[in-house]
Amino acid sequence: MRKLICLLALSFCVGKFCFGQVPLVGGERVDYYSSWTERGAKVVPMGEIHLSALAKSRYGNYPKTELNSELLLFPLAPNIGFKHQWFGKNTILSSQHTFYYPTLGLKWARSSGFQDQLPESADVPHIFTFRNELILSRILNPQPEDCFIRIPDLILSARVGFDFSLKSGDDNFPKLDYYWLYQRSASFYNDQKVYFAGLELAGNAYRNFNFSITADYYNINFDGEYALESQGKIHWHKNSRFSLSGGYKAYYLNNDTQTQLFMMPVVDLVFKLNHRTKLQRGLFKK
């Protein structure tokens, strides 16, 4: 089957394949860029830095390890994450561990006019939130070993994990019930834990356009409260160092007091620093 895929791909290619060149399709150069996203189990290569506006920014500090952070969120909730890739080539298993300190953002909200969420009289303790998750990714169309044509990866990723928080100080602040905050702050209260599971499908849409679509489920202490999230994006790669993406983000929250449904557009951009294009079987692997 893999040889058949390789032969079918070859049948669409016109022109010669030379060492150090990418394929020519219809007489035009075609670049395929990596389908992997920050949600997959694969870490960024050692020494590379991926700077993202909305998603996690990432740094490969060891061959199988990366450090990451949500930089846009950092001033309000300082955070740092650690992902380690345990094993795998076509099936990869990783673990991700993230620390958040949301107290700064809560104190800012209390004094910045968000009275419907945090009144000025609320006491905000020191909160230390920990997220732990396992990530399993599978390349659904593995690259044939004896095929010199690079086939864009189609990747299915699954994750499971939980959040818990430790607190220090007085605590009398109300629950945050915004559609995107409730499931992220539920562990601040009454020693609750937030359990979550999610899926992502990512692959190549056309030429230098990739796609990703996600679905996530959050359950709060198994007490009947839950939230659903979904995101879909198209990623345009200008080159191997810059990409721009756009799509939607949808939220559904069902808690003790209300249900909320909300959808909004999302735009993101990513810069890659110290990125090195790797040569594989005469083709560039991005």
Segments of 106-168 assigned E as strands: 126-139, 155-168
CB atoms within 10 A of CB 256: 10
Distance CA 147, CA 282 (A): 11
Closest CA to 153 of 171, 138, 172: 138
| Distances 254 to 173, 182, 190, 227, 236 between C-alpha atoms, Å | 21, 10, 19, 6, 34
Residue type, 267: V
pLDDT value for 260: 93
> Which residue stretches of the chain have pLDDT < 70?
1-31, 146-149, 277-286
Give the three-class secondary structure for 100: strand
Token pair listed for 230? 């979904």
Q: Positive or negative, the Cα torsion across 157, 93, 207, 231?
A: positive
Domains held by the chain: number: 1
Please count the residues of the chain.
Answer: 286
Residue type, 108: W
Element housing 101 (H / E)? none
Distance CA 76, CA 62 (A): 28
Give the three-class secondary structure for 95: strand
The CATH number that applies at residue 239 is 2.40.230
Q: What DSSP designation does 144 have?
A: P
Range of the domain at 16: 2-285
pLDDT value for 185: 92
Query: What does the pLDDT look like over 54-83, one tens digit per residue?
Result: 999 999 999 999 999 999 999 999 999 999
Query: What does the pLDDT look like over 105-149, one tens digit per residue?
Result: 998 888 887 777 788 888 889 999 999 999 999 999 988 776 666
Token pair listed for 273? 């620093």
Residue type, 6: C
Distance CA 6, CA 265 (A): 38
Residue type, 194: V
Give the three-class secondary structure for 138: strand
Give the three-class secondary structure for 248: strand
pLDDT value for 170: 72
Distance CA 275, CA 273 (A): 5
Global pTM reads 0.86
pLDDT value for 30: 61
Closest CA to 139 of 84, 94, 201, 198: 201
pLDDT value for 277: 60
Q: Positive or negative, the Cα torsion across 36, 39, 44, 49?
A: positive
